């Protein structure tokens, strides 16, 4: 039997959680309180880097992430670097219209609900074309 892959990130301080630590209290995005989550989402938008490795992401949390992101010219949520490696999407993971402008990783991510979206795009090319998402053509 193969052993579970080791995690190469600092894990959340909540026992049993493998989510990557945010800068707030050492907890992952899923375990932050409302004020801490707001601060973290502001930082993510400012730094253009989402680290959600190993995080359990509910539909509500994904909605909060999408709402906090900067907007592409057409008004869609715009991800810079997006790390969803080993994340678990516990509800529907709808990225309708989202643009992935930098590297995006969904390696070993699991989707317990519907996943994907329409008109999703990736300006960085094939390095960020998870199943159900299409690369965005570059101007």
Which H helix or E strand runs over 45?
Answer: helix 34-47
Which H helix or E strand runs over 43?
Answer: helix 34-47
Residues in the chain: 139
pLDDT per residue rounded down to tens, the chain (139 residues): 444 557 889 999 999 999 999 876 899 999 999 999 999 999 999 999 999 999 999 999 999 999 999 999 888 899 999 999 999 999 999 887 889 899 999 999 999 988 876 544 454 444 444 444 433 444 4
- C-alpha torsion sign, points 30, 114, 6, 80: negative
For residues 38 and 46, the answer to whether their CB atoms sit within 8 Å is no
- Phi first, then psi: what are they for 44, rounded to 5°? -60, -45
Report the predicted TM-score, pTM, of the whole model to 2 decimal places: 0.80
Structural domain boundaries of the chain?
Answer: 29-128
> What is the per-residue pLDDT for 3?
44
CA distance 43 to 48: 8
């Amino acid at each position: 039997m193969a052993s579970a892959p080791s995690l190469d990130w600092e894990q959340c301080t909540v026992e049993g959680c493998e989510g990557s630590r945010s800068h707030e209290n050492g907890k992952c995005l899923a375990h932050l309180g409302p004020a801490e989550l707001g601060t973290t989402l502001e930082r993510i938008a400012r730094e253009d880097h989402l680290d959600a490795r190993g995080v359990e992401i509910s539909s509500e949390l994904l909605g909060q992430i999408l709402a906090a992101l900067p907007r592409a010219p057409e008004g869609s949520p715009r991800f810079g670097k997006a790390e969803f490696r080993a994340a678990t999407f516990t509800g529907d993971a709808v990225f309708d219209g989202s643009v992935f402008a930098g590297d995006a990783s969904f390696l070993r991510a699991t989707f317990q609900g519907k996943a994907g979206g329409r008109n999703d795009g990736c300006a960085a090319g094939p390095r960020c074309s998870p199943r159900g998402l299409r690369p965005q053509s570059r101007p």
